[in-house]
Chain A
Amino acid sequence: MAYEENGALQSLLAARGVTRRDFLKWCGSTAALLGMAESFAPQIAAAVEGAVLQPQAPALWINGGACTGCTESMAQVDTPDVATIVLDLLSVNYFETIMMAQGEDAEAAKADLVAKGGYVCIYEGTVMTGFEGNALRVAGKPQVEELPEVFENAAAIVAVGSCAVDGGWVAANPNPAGGIGVLEFCKEHNIETPVVNLPTCPVNPEWVVAMVIDVLYLGALEDLSVLDLDEFNRPKGIFGQTIHDNCSRRGHFENGEFVTEFGSVEEAKGYCLYAVGCKGPQTFTNCPIVRWNGRASWCVESGAPCIGCGSANPLEAGGNWVDVNAPFLNRHRDIHVGDWVTQPTVVGAAVGAAAVAALAVHGVGMKAAGRMDGGAPYEEMKERDAKKGGGK
């Protein structure tokens, strides 16, 4: 790469107070995040530096049934850090929450890009199919009417946040708005655009940056295997290990030092939150490593048990993280038997106690029947043989 080409990015970074050293450090951590060796850092640097001279890659940020929490998470970077600059490389032609354009102009910009195709579609929020699509109306018509074209013409879809992945909390029981994830919507409409799922509530901006780099600059569009996605279309590098595996409180877990009550001495000591329902052992994200809010901290480090917002099951109704993990302070999810909502512990103990009680009652019967001392006398022959008229 020619020096002056590098210079273009350098001046852009310098204008924002980012040194070349900071930039290369960031490239190294992005390589780690993508599950690559740090030796890939120069390649990432080259890709980003090259991209800055290219026409900006077009992108659409589409909001479904969303609380805008993911937008908020992306916007939380309060100083323009390297990640922000890289995201500036994306030309986001439509972004409801923060775009300048309004009304028909904004819709026209979106329609133009959709007609042209080849953009990255970042989808935030739940796909709302309820009430014949009227659960979410955009620009005067149900959003689900425009989505097939938006998804079909995209080069790739990045589903950000658990809502976009599998409906998230919007789709939690009883799901009146008919919320589903992007992947399921695409499947229903036979859309084959690649979908990258980035669950958690909200999404971690570092992951979005990593995926944008992957999709736009490292050739993931030509060869999807670069993304190394799991069965739920999540990048394995980010969603491959449990929170429990990398947790800073793991030592306390192994020692058997637990918080059983909030406000206790154990809590003050920073003991393990397993006994107050931490879902870290079954939630696959790298939160403890990447952390949140400019890498300041993350849920468990700040004292809250993991509530499993990174659980995802994009193609199964009821697989959203709320149905799977609520109540958050219990070890197990609730189970529904008809209208009856209860905990597995209660069911197990009740069935076990019923079995023991039945045996006790039976024992009383055996005693009354005089069978306790050796059982009843044996039959002469099997009943079926007796019916046949002989035991020969």
Chain B
Amino acid sequence: MAHPAHYREAHPMVFVLTHWINLISMVSLAFSGFYIHYPFFSGFMGVARGMHFFFMYVLVVNLTFRIIAAFFVKSAVVNGSRQQDTDIKNWLPQEANRGQMIPWLKYYLFLKKDHPLGAKYGVLQKIAYIATVPLTYVMMWTGFSLYGPYMNHPWFESSLALVGGPMNMRIIHYFMMWVFIIFTAIHAYLANVEGFAPSRLIFAWKESEGLEFDPKTGKVVGGKGH
């Protein structure tokens, strides 16, 4: 069976760090958010709110940094290769992704036997990852609209009026948390279902041997398991 090699060039150290910060922030936000939604044990509300605000600032700063860094840091253009290009190019749709949406869907629905070719990230993966960017900022916006010191600011006041008041805003904020939870579940599942090499790389920055890919054609050219 065949799995691409996972080299450090795919996820430079700085992105290993931002990924860790994302993970810790999101887990803390979901936990403290559930507590604020309904305090299921006593004595923690002040801390929960503090956690919630602190980690959201961290998450947003981290995301903004991550986006800016994507324009300056290079990462591998395809798994199983050490050749790098500016990271943002690997995020946006590429020639290698063209026409591959249907094959990916078919592959995941067991209607296609072979693993589709692609760039560093597949079509569905790119859609999901890119969607988390606006989602995070919208989450921040809905949160500020509910947060005492900011809710009277004209921006957030008019947002509250737009959605029909703070109760509706609260429910939107709550549902969006589930969107993040479901995203994370699918993300963790798909990243690891064919082997734990991606996790070893993104968490521990450990390389794994595997198939080598030609960055130009995107096709398998050798490596372990060829």
A contact residues vs B (CB 8 Å cutoff): 230-232, 240-242, 244-245, 253-258, 274-275, 279, 281-282, 308, 311, 313, 316, 318-319, 324-325, 331-333, 335, 344-345, 347-348, 351-352, 355-356, 359, 362-363, 365-366, 369-384, 391
Contacts and interface: CB of A to CB of B under 8 A. Distances in A.
A359 B189 contact: yes
By Cβ-Cβ distance, the 6 closest A-B pairs, closest first, are A282-B166, A374-B3, A374-B1, A375-B194, A379-B114, A384-B99
Given A256-B47, A378-B114, 7 more contacts: A255-B43, A282-B165, A348-B174, A370-B1, A377-B114, A377-B115, A378-B220
Nearest to B43: A256
29 contacts: A232-B161, A240-B152, A244-B148, A255-B43, A256-B47, A281-B146, A281-B166, A316-B164, A318-B164, A331-B37, A332-B171, A335-B171, A344-B174, A347-B175, A348-B178, A352-B185, A355-B185, A356-B185, A363-B193, A366-B193, A371-B1, A372-B194, A373-B3, A374-B194, A376-B113, A379-B114, A381-B219, A382-B100, A391-B217
A97 to B, nearest CB: 31
A169 B43 CA distance: 36
A352 B171 contact: no
A377 B152 CA distance: 57
A81 to B, nearest CB: 32
Given A275-B38, A331-B37, A333-B167, A371 B194 contact: yes
A272 B225 CA distance: 62
A231 B171 contact: no
A350 to B, nearest CB: 10
A324 B170 CA distance: 11
B110 to A, nearest CB: 6
Contact of A383 (B99, B115, B157, B170): B99
A367 to B, nearest CB: 9
Nearest to B197: A374
B108 to A, nearest CB: 7
B39 interface: yes
B93 interface: no
Given A257-B43, A374-B3, A313 B171 contact: no
Given A313-B164, A379-B115, A382-B100, A359 B45 contact: no
A25 B2 CA distance: 84
Interface string B171-193: 10011011001100110010001
B46 A254 contact: yes
A27 to B, nearest CB: 27
Contact of A374 (B113, B148, B185, B195): B195
A386 B225 CA distance: 24
Contacts of A316: 164
B164 A363 contact: no
A319 B165 contact: yes
Interface string B117-131: 100000000000000
A256 B39 contact: yes
B48 to A, nearest CB: 8
Nearest to B108: A362
B161 to A, nearest CB: 5
Contacts of A255: 43, 45-46
Contact of B211 (A257, A275, A378): A378
Contacts of B225: 374
Given A375-B194, A382-B117, A332 B167 contact: yes
B170 to A, nearest CB: 7
A282 B195 contact: no
Contact of A379 (B37, B110, B116, B158): B116
B148 A242 contact: yes
B122 to A, nearest CB: 12
Contacts of B48: 256
A382 B175 CA distance: 38
A335 B189 CA distance: 31
Contact of B1 (A230, A308, A375): A375
A363 B168 CA distance: 36
Interface string B1-13: 1110000000000
A331 B152 contact: no
A348 B175 contact: yes
Contacts of B151: 242
B117 A333 contact: no
Contacts of A253: 45
Contacts of A369: 110
Contacts of A242: 148, 151
Interface in B12-59: 37-39, 42-49
Contact of A365 (B37, B110, B164, B219): B110
A158 B2 CA distance: 75
B164 A375 contact: no
